Amino acid sequence: MKARVKSSASSSPAHSRASAKKEEATALFALLEEHEHEQVSLVYEPSSGYRGIIAIHDTTLGPALGGTRFWHYANDRDALIDCLRLARGMTYKAAVAGLNLGGGKSVIIGDNKIRNREPIFRAHGRHVKALGGRYITAEDVGTSVSDMEFIKAETDHVTGLIGKSGDPSPVTAFGVYRGMKACAKHHYGDDGLKGKTVAIQGCGHVGYYLADLLYKEGAQVYATDIDAAKLKAVVDDFRAKAVNAEEIYSVEADIFAPCALGGIINDETIPQLKVAIIAGGANNQLAEERHGDLLEEKGITYAPDYVINAGGLVNVNAELEGWTMERARNKAGEIYETILMVFDIAAEERMPSYRAADRLAERRIAAIAKVRQNFV
């Protein structure tokens, strides 16, 4: 958004202050309009110092679900933009995963290392409660299961609780594995991974379980991690070959599986890639959307990140719906069919896969909105 040019008529300090405030308010609503959000709450609770933003992007499919991020932002505007962007991302993720959930997110502005957490998270819980179930929260960066317990003391609209669905990464990894097989089917005409080489970046929760599934199918894993112990576990347990962190992008392999950081598909890494497929669990893999176009030009089959890593969200949904672990796993397994659908749309509409994924999500939301338009 461009900054407005100041008018020479607004010369008195009081007038400037008033017009600056008015401009800021207009800019805030312009942000909501730009990202097409339904509702955003900004809350300040002086007794605890709680400063929270709760963004509800779209509830066509169901209540808006998305975690609470606790972060020290450079300024309030950055916090708002982050919250809006993340909430919108949740709408798309839930829609393509076939879940009856909308998209939302919240941020708490401040130092996430703070010791006295109860008042902050109880305050947050009360404001989540005030939304009457339109928004359901969970863990995210800077928050933990024990913070969720504080929220639970105030509202039932929270998930990811102690002793409930637990670590989502086995389900996430299974979804990534199924999505990878769909990519192989699309690229090679056969979804078998036996004898294929897969370069995994990040041997943490998702990377470890993914390496296990690949090893069991007979794939050769190349792995890297900046944490030597995590890398050693994958090398020892699944006969993976260790690679230096910087070398992972230039490994000659069939598949690259980013399971660590976002933004790793960028101007520096794309020229190094010697793989046919990118299929991994990390969020926000493309540094910018145009990098998805570059992959397409290079003939690399790219599994859009929010489609292939939706197993974590499926796991949270399982907790809300009281599903068994087996049902959650089966649902995450459907990522195979979803990825193939994304490639079909991409081919039909001559667009890169990351755009086709958005199209799939938007179509489902539009279709359900139509079904629900009549008074019943």
Q: Which residues are catalytic?
A: 105
Interaction between residue 225 and ligand NAD (CB under 6 A):
yes
One residue of 201, 301, 317, 353 binding ligand NAD per CB under 6 A: 201
Spatial CB neighbours of 298, under 8 Å, sequence gap ≥ 6: 270, 273
One residue of 169, 220, 301, 317 binding ligand NAD per CB under 6 A: 169
Interaction between residue 78 and ligand NAD (CB under 6 A):
no
Q: Measured from the CB of residue 284, what is the shortest distance to ligand NAD in angstroms?
A: 8
How far is Cα 346 from Cα 300, in angstroms, rounded to an integer? 13
Looking at 79-87, 97-105, 184-192, 222-230, which segment touches ligand NAD (CB under 6 A)?
Answer: 222-230
Residue with tokens 């008015």: 22
How far is Cα 301 from Cα 99, in angstroms, rounded to an integer? 25
Q: Measured from the CB of residue 79, what is the shortest distance to ligand NAD in angstroms?
A: 19
Beta pairing, strands 50-58 & 39-45: antiparallel
Distances (CA, A) of 127 to 77, 88, 106: 20, 20, 11
Residue with tokens 């793989």: 275
Q: Measured from the CB of residue 71, what is the shortest distance to ligand NAD in angstroms?
A: 14
One residue of 260, 273, 339, 361 binding ligand NAD per CB under 6 A: 260
Which residue, 105 or 205, is less far from ligand NAD as judged by CB? 205
C-alpha R_g of the chain: 22
Residue with tokens 């317990």: 149
Which residue, 270 or 368, is less far from ligand NAD as judged by CB? 270
Angle at 75 between CA 82 and CA 5, to 5 degrees: 95
One residue of 87, 203, 243, 294 binding ligand NAD per CB under 6 A: 203
Q: Measured from the CB of residue 84, what is the shortest distance to ligand NAD in angstroms?
A: 19
Running DSSP on this structure, what letter comes out for residue 249?
Answer: G
Running DSSP on this structure, what letter comes out for residue 374?
Answer: S
Give the bridge partners for 58, in sequence order: 103
Interaction between residue 281 and ligand NAD (CB under 6 A):
yes
Applying CB under 6 A, what is the total number of residues that bind ligand NAD?
24
Spatial CB neighbours of 235, under 8 Å, sequence gap ≥ 6: 223, 241, 242
Interaction between residue 369 and ligand NAD (CB under 6 A):
no
Spatial CB neighbours of 44, under 8 Å, sequence gap ≥ 6: 50, 51
Interaction between residue 139 and ligand NAD (CB under 6 A):
no
Interaction between residue 224 and ligand NAD (CB under 6 A):
yes
One residue of 62, 110, 168, 179 binding ligand NAD per CB under 6 A: 168
Looking at 21-29, 46-54, 277-285, 340-348, which segment touches ligand NAD (CB under 6 A)?
Answer: 277-285
One residue of 37, 122, 205, 355 binding ligand NAD per CB under 6 A: 205
DSSP helix/strand/coil, 267: coil
Provide DSSP, 42-62. Answer: EEEETTTTEEEEEEEEE-SSS
* Cβ-based burial of 235 (10 A; exposed 0-12, middle 13-18, buried ≥19): middle
Interaction between residue 266 and ligand NAD (CB under 6 A):
no
Interaction between residue 227 and ligand NAD (CB under 6 A):
yes
Looking at 21-29, 73-81, 219-227, 368-376, which segment touches ligand NAD (CB under 6 A)?
Answer: 219-227
Q: Measured from the CB of residue 167, what is the shortest distance to ligand NAD in angstroms?
A: 7
The contact set with ligand NAD (CB under 6 A) reads 168-169, 172, 201-207, 224-227, 230, 245, 259-261, 281-283, 309, 312
